[in-house]
Amino acid sequence: MPQVLALLWFQQTTADGAHEGTHDLGSASFFIFQLLFTGGFDDSVSHLTQRCIFGAAVVIGVTIISILVGLITDFVNSYMTGLSEGRSKVVESGHTLLLGWNESTTRVR
């Protein structure tokens, strides 16, 4: 899909003369890559080496954030599963445990 967008962008910019920095297909591809992954475009990145470093940094950053979100989601999911299975810590002295309590149970004083 990004290649199609880059091709469309390339055709449009060559037709109307706008965005002079993206008149070749490689620059148009880089423009679309930046737009999709970062939400903006920095036209000061013009050399191929800089673009490769930028692309690698974006991919590594997205990967790290994805891993962190996955770890946090897994931790919260396992914690909630433990709570629903009753594996939480319970104070063992000085409390009364009522099994089967609900709204229709008589009050205990």
* CA 72 to each of CA 19, 49, 66, 78: distance values in angstroms, whole numbers, following the listed order: 41, 35, 10, 10
Confidence category of residue 100, pLDDT binned at 50, 70, 90? confident
**Alpha-carbon gap, residue 62 to 64, rounded angstroms:** 6
**Alpha-carbon gap, residue 24 to 109, rounded angstroms:** 81
Segments forming the whole domain that contains residue 65: 47-88
DSSP string, 59-97: HHHHHHHHHHHHHHHHHHHHHHHHHHTT-S----SS---
Identify the residue with better confidence: 6 or 52.
Answer: 52
pLDDT recorded at residue 73? 97
Asked whether residue 72 is domain-assigned, the answer is yes
Q: Output the pTM of the full model.
A: 0.55
pLDDT recorded at residue 72? 97
Asked whether residue 16 is domain-assigned, the answer is yes
Asked whether residue 93 is domain-assigned, the answer is no
Looking at the structure of the chain, the number of domains it has is 2
Asked whether residue 78 is domain-assigned, the answer is yes
